[in-house]
Amino acid sequence: MPDKHLMVIDPAVVKPAIESYNRIAFSASYPVTYHLPALYGLTSIGQMKDNIRGIIVMGSAASVHDGHAWQDAIRDILFGAFKKEIPVMGLCYGHQLIAHICGGKVGPLWSGEKKQGMRTIRINDHSLWGSAQSGPLIYSHQDGIIECPPEFNITAESDLVAIEGIASRSRPVWGFQPHIEATQAFIDDHDIPITNSQETFAFGHQILDNFILSLA
């Protein structure tokens, strides 16, 4: 039987976050597969839906309320993972999607205006990443979680957004609104004016890498 793989789902509707995927794959000691359902269809997800050790759902310009077929497919994959206790990490859109399908409320935070940049995130202590800490993380979004889903705890907050992170109380499921996976390519593609990018990379990547290492 093939080795279990980490399924990275990139719901990009314009440009894939290939550099972010490359960094994830480089950090893992096991196979990592990459899927672009919005741009290239559902074939690869269907082919690789078994033998999964973990799932990362990345960011997207889409809304969780759009109702595309590829969004339904991701939802089904996640529900299957929840039942099997497969670890899941949602980032930005993925974070919102987890909340949406688990009974939370997602909507515009600033009357539909998109905001991006870097903000200080305060993270509570958790077994996945250790003690409480704070640091700068990159953000680029207009929607967010307005009401935390039942059976989830809020794990992170900022002065700008009340629900920056969530964690299931009973399953290995987490979400982060900021882009803890971001690379320099992400900053360049989104034209985000940041001067101390290495600090935010180090802070975000340590959280994501803890998730990746936990799957080994």
Instruction: Using alpha carbons, select from 92, 91, 82 the residue that is nearest to residue 52.
Output: 82
Query: Which pLDDT does position 80 carry in this prediction?
Result: 96
Beta strands in 36-151, from DSSP E residues, in sequence order: 52-57, 88-91, 105-108, 115-123, 133-141, 143-147
Structure tokens of 204?
């975000």
Query: Mean per-residue pLDDT for 104-122?
Result: 93
Q: What are phi and psi of 14, to 5 degrees?
A: -125, -65
pTM for this model (two decimals):
0.96
Residue 16, pLDDT > 70, answer yes
23, 205 contact by CB (below 8 A): yes
Q: What residues contact 6, with CB distance under 8 A and at least 6 apart?
A: 24, 28, 30, 31, 32, 33, 52, 53, 54, 55, 56, 212, 215
**Residue matched to tokens 């976050």:** 17
Task: Give tens-digit pLDDT for 175-207.
Answer: 999 999 999 999 999 898 887 788 999 999 999
At the second CATH level, the architecture of 5-214 is 3-Layer(aba) Sandwich (3.40)
Residue 1, pLDDT > 80, answer no
Query: Which pLDDT does position 66 carry in this prediction?
Result: 97
Torsion sign (Cα): 146, 149, 151, 157: negative
Question: Long-range contact list for 111-117, CB < 8 A, 24+ apart?
Answer: 112/142, 113/142, 114/140, 114/141, 114/142, 115/139, 115/140, 115/141, 115/142, 115/160, 116/140, 116/141, 116/190, 116/192, 117/192, 117/193, 117/194
Query: Which pLDDT does position 196 carry in this prediction?
Result: 76
So which residues are the catalytic ones? 92, 179, 181
Task: Give tens-digit pLDDT for 116-151.
Answer: 999 999 999 988 888 999 999 999 999 999 999 999
Structure tokens of 129?
């990443």
More confident residue, 116 or 2: 116
How far is it, in rounded angstroms, from Cα 203 to Cα 125?
14
